[in-house]
Amino acid sequence: MNVQYAIKDDELFIIEVNPRASRTVPFVSKAIGVPLAKLAARVMAGEKLVDLGFTDEIIPPYWAVKESVFPFNRFPGAPIMLSPEMRSTGEVMGLDKDLGVAFAKSQMAAKPSLPDSGDVFISVKDHDKERAVEIVRGLSELGFGITATAGTGKILKENGIEVKSVYRLSEGRPNVIDLIKNGKISLIINTPQGTVPRQNENQIRSEALKYNICIMTTISAAAAAVDGIRSLREKGYEVRSIQSYSKECHKA
């Protein structure tokens, strides 16, 4: 069965249960090197897991990060947001023993990749501002320049972070879209104020897609991006076949 959950205020809700395998099943199968759908079909046909040799949980000695691929760039003007609806057109996988590198690989595959340098534009909702301080501090320590709108910039400056201010789209120019068009921004952190992004936020995201700029729309993704950039600098990355990873799950 495919069970979909939602969590709000630490309370768990079940959205739906479907008698089928979700796209997570082939992802996990590839990550651990076990054909789960095939085993499930044989169990439904009457065989037992013990006879199929699959009775122990497999915990890989590496990270497998899934990133969804969305077709937003094919629908100009459409709201660039996530919802319970199935909007992705596929997924990619990033594998590595380091979580930061695995996340960075997933971004390389989904595109655009995480930047290694440049300026970051940040505008986050009030709920995210406290956590954003440490994320931006990490980016600043990595050598990135920081650009922000007034509200977010005020919080960052109060915490000792050097920030370049920019107008909101409704306030005048130069604004972040001008900076994007002029190639001055390499990463955007923009978390929505509600379920549906406001017009300004959607304009920013649309321009980011148009100019192939990496954008993080949740504060947790922004934190992962910092870890990914730092890990790439410190450790680099290697290219290996998925089979070579899954073999590590089945060593005696």
Q: What is the pLDDT of residues 151-206, one digit of tens each?
A: 889 999 999 999 998 888 777 788 889 999 999 999 999 887 655 456 677 788 88
Q: What is the pLDDT of residues 46-77, one digit of tens each?
A: 999 999 999 999 999 999 999 988 877 676 66
Domain boundaries, the chain: 18-59, 112-235
pTM of the predicted protein model = 0.85
Strand partners, 119: 145
Looking at the domain covering 112-235, what would its CATH class be?
alpha beta
pLDDT at 201: 75
Q: CA of 250: how far to CAs of 30, 34, 59, 205, 243, in Å?
A: 13, 10, 10, 43, 11
